Amino acid sequence: MQKISKSHPRYQSLVTRELIAQAMKHGIVHETGLIAHGRGEAFDYLLGETTIPLADSAEKIAAAALLSAKNPVISINGNVAALAADECISLAKNIPANLEINLFHRSPERVKKIAAMLRKKGAHSLYGLNPDARIPGLDSDRALCEKKGIFTADVVLVPLEDGDRCQALQGMGKIVIAIDLNPLSRSAQAATITIVDNVTRAVPRIEHWVDTLKDTKSSHLVKLVSTWDNSKNLAGVMSFLSKRLNSFS
């Protein structure tokens, strides 16, 4: 990796870009993942590259949903593997939850490379290598999943943009948690709980709330999730972004 000075004002962003670029060279990230990352980074600029209170509220509810789930699954694609593999593995162990590899640009080679990477980092319960089910309503390879994983999950954490699958998973009656820096995307709009935050900040914050809520009664966790108003939270994020943009005029 190119040496990046920690004194650089955009150090974290440059490190993230380098991670994505290197992961593409190693076959973890598809080339179109670079475009998706750039789009997300633009929205992160607007957020101030920080976790805003509205995002933290969503991260708390996400933790409650994962803790109260019977079969929670964290979905992993190339960009997530490149940027937040350690954090997703740690979160999965803490809940506990399963990890499942799910790719739009799927190939056996990419799946195997991502699986090897996750296992090297300590992932134990890992699905996605041998799909034996399909998510109804999807024609792409995103439909491929495992029965013991995403197909029968009651709560699915979907980091990064995945609009069509979010909608399809919702149609199966699942609670879908999306991490998406674009509050206008289909995934953000379709999810049950939308976290408008960078995945590198969001996953550790969810784990923070998992630690905080771990001893909370299940009935209270369920109530937190059932009373969550995702549309209201998204509207608040849009208002925040609008005010930030107006402050520069």
pLDDT digits (tens, 9 = 90+) for 109-150: 999 999 999 999 999 889 999 999 999 989 888 899 999 999
pLDDT of residue 2: 60
Domain of 63, in residue numbers: 53-247
Q: Tell me whether residue 4 is in a domain.
A: no
CA distance 66 to 179: 14
207-216: b or e for each residue (b if 16 or more CB lie within 10 Å)? Answer: bebbeebeee
Low-confidence residues of the chain, pLDDT below 70? 1-2, 5, 8-11, 161, 249
User: What pLDDT, on a 0 to 100 scale, did the predictor assign at position 120?
Assistant: 96
What pLDDT does residue 5 have?
Answer: 67
| Domain assignment present for 9 | no
Assigned domain for 20 exists: no
pTM confidence score = 0.92
Let me know: does 133 contact 73? Beta carbons within 8 Å: no
Q: What is the CATH number of the domain that holds 223?
A: 3.40.50.12640
In a domain, 124, yes or no: yes
Domain membership of residue 239 (yes or no) is yes
Q: One-letter amino acid identity for 84?
A: A
Query: Quick one: pLDDT at residue 34?
Result: 77
19 within some domain: no
**For the chain, what is the domain count?**
1
DSSP labels, 153-181? -SEEEEES--HHHHHHHHHTT-EEEEE-S
